[in-house]
Amino acid sequence: MVAQFIPLALVLGIISLAIWFTQQRQRAEEPPGTGLKPGLRGWLAFLNVALWVGSLRSLVEFAKSFADQDPTVAKQFPLLSVADAVIGGLGLVLLVYTAWLLTRQSRRFLAAFHYLAASVVLIPPLSLLLGYLFLNVWYAVPVTVGAVMTSVDAQFVGQWVAGTLIIAAWLMYVRRSRRVAITCVR
């Protein structure tokens, strides 16, 4: 299953290298004193828009998860439903907060983006683990790890892998970008 993501990773790697080499050449050709100007421009503006669009999309998905939830499951496992809602809500709040910090050009943006990156990578597998533990320990429903792993479909894994690769690329940009360093200072 991981083999199907290798071409995507290679394409993203080639694009990243091309962007990096272009930036290095452009920086070497800049006359002294004519560097970047602070502000939400270029890739940083794109990231800002992506964070806000992602916030809206996450809000819709969060609301849809409540509408699509089976009421009998929520009644049978209320703590699990509440925990799932809390995890989703906290992720949404963190995403909106990070977008807001970037829009304000706050120096706290970098730390918030690191937390956002960690949440994108860690929340999906931790959510599965939490569900497994709640069912086995709290509700005494015998569920094996194998049953949990077979319930994970290719779409879930694909979205998690894609999200991890995308957030890793953005994290590298945010950490190394001169524009981020000179813009997010308030």
- pLDDT tens for 10-32 read 777 787 777 777 777 766 666 66
pLDDT level of residue 39 (50, 70, 90 thresholds): confident
User: DSSP readout, 7-43?
Assistant: HHHHHHHHHHHHHHHHHHHHHHHSPTT--PPPSS-HH
Enter the tokens of residue 73.
Answer: 């499951």
Q: Mapping DSSP to helix (H, G, I), strand (E, B) and coil, where does residue 165 land?
A: helix
Contact 102, 173 (CB under 8 A): no
- 13 vs 92, more confident: 92
Q: Which of 124, 183, 178, 115 is nearest to 148 (CA)?
A: 124
Higher pLDDT, 103 or 8: 103
What is residue 2's predicted lDDT score, i.e. its pLDDT?
59
Other C-beta atoms closer than 10 Å to the C-beta of 126 total 12
Specify the pLDDT at position 133.
Answer: 78
pLDDT single digits (tens) 105-150: 999 999 999 999 999 999 988 888 887 777 777 777 777 767 666 7
Can you say whether residue 33 is alpha, beta or left, with left for phi > 0 and alpha for psi between -120 and 50 degrees? left
pLDDT per position as a tens digit, 151-178: 777 788 888 899 999 999 999 999 999 8
pLDDT of residue 29: 65
49 versus 75: the higher-pLDDT residue is 49
pLDDT at position 104 over 80: yes
- Which pLDDT band holds residue 81 (cuts at 50, 70, 90)? confident
pTM for the model:
0.74
